[in-house]
Amino acid sequence: MAMDRDREDFLRAFHAAHPAVTARAMAHGRAGDGRSSYEILRDRVAACGRVLDLGCGDGLLLELLATGEAGARRRLAGIDLSAEELALARRRPGVARADLRVGRAQRLPFHASHFDGCVSHMALMLMSDAEQVAAELARVLEPGGTLAVVVGGGAAGGETYERFLRLAKPLFKAAPPEQRTPPLGNPRLRSHEGFDEVFGAAGFGPVEWETVRIDLSGPPEQIWRTVGSLYDIGPLDAAVTADLRARFEAESAAAALPDGSIPCAMNVHLATAVRR
């Protein structure tokens, strides 16, 4: 339990210092069909009228769920460890009416069968005690309810992420203990088999698993917001981070396209399951 508290304290501090970091890194990205990873999740629960966003951050996904005729009728809720992220979420059009709460996924403050849909964008994979989280989601989702989750799937070809990691990994290893990121989440939730195992035991049907390539190409400033959003960057000294950024952008300039943008892409895994 002490380790879980340490991890959650790290996440709270990181997001207090860097609110909206995930949206800034990923909202501009597009899959081959033109949708963002947030829009893909929204569409997976299009038929749901009572939706929970688990680890809702600054509320971008909730805002998408609240738009349109169907969105106006939805009852929405969001939960997050970060009060700072939720403060940003409350400013978004359509999200102010949502039930937003600071809390933990391992003990959701909602009664049984409260929702018919749950989404989670790049958050579930960071949570400790995966079995307890799965049990809580099974409890608050009604039978037949839909769970749709996006988890990170690593670099999708190209050299941008590889270039960044080549420069950054020695800095992570050389950082003093107090500047190192604690291990986050459960690796089983990043694979089809592991996700199926955890959620199948909790009462969900077979997981539908899809890997989607997200194009995150953009100008240098935008690319840094993407690669520099890694949790490992947060605890480093500001001077170390500034030097890393300067070296990364200098090397990336050689790969720039004619319009000045830097090619960059990552894979995400989209997991969808139905509560039995």
Question: Is the pLDDT confidence value at 235 over 70?
Answer: yes
73: how many CB neighbours lie within 10 A of its CB?
A: 9
Please, which residues bridge with residue 78 across strands?
A: 53, 100
Quote the pLDDT of residue 142: 98
Instruction: Return the residue matching tokens 């009604």.
Output: 142
Question: Is the pLDDT confidence value at 2 over 70?
Answer: no
pLDDT band at 3 (very low <50, low <70, confident <90, very high): low
CB of 41 within 8 A of CB of 119?
yes
CB of 205 within 8 A of CB of 274?
yes
pLDDT of 183-218, one tens digit each? 999 999 999 999 999 999 999 999 999 999 999 999
E strand or H helix that includes residue 120 = strand 115-121
Quote the pLDDT of residue 155: 83
Question: Is the pLDDT confidence value at 93 over 90?
Answer: no
Quote the pLDDT of residue 38: 98
Quote the pLDDT of residue 94: 86
Q: What's the mean pLDDT when you consider all of the chain?
A: 95
CB of 249 within 8 A of CB of 141?
no
| CA-wise closest residue to 216 among 231, 227, 204 | 227
Task: Please report, in angstroms and rounded to a whole number, the separation of the first and last CA atoms in the chain.
Answer: 30
Summarize the chain as % helix, strand, coil (round to 5).
45, 20, 30
Burial class (CB in 10 A: 0-12, 13-18, 19+), 254: exposed
- Side by side, the strands of the sheet bearing 75-80 are 99-102, 75-80, 50-54, 115-121, 141-155, 265-274, 208-215
Output the CA torsion 18→21→24→27 (10° steps). Answer: -160
pTM of the entire predicted model: 0.96
Distances in whole angstroms, Cα of residue 213 to Cα of each of 161, 162, 196, 227, 262: 14, 16, 21, 16, 16
pLDDT of 259-268, one tens digit each? 999 999 999 9
Quote the pLDDT of residue 4: 83
Rounded Cα–Cα distance for residues 242 and 244 (Å) = 5
Quote the pLDDT of residue 5: 84
CB of 53 within 8 A of CB of 77?
yes
Helix (H, G, I), strand (E, B), or coil: what is residue 109?
A: coil
Rounded Cα–Cα distance for residues 187 and 226 (Å) = 22
Rounded Cα–Cα distance for residues 266 and 161 (Å) = 8
Quote the pLDDT of residue 1: 60
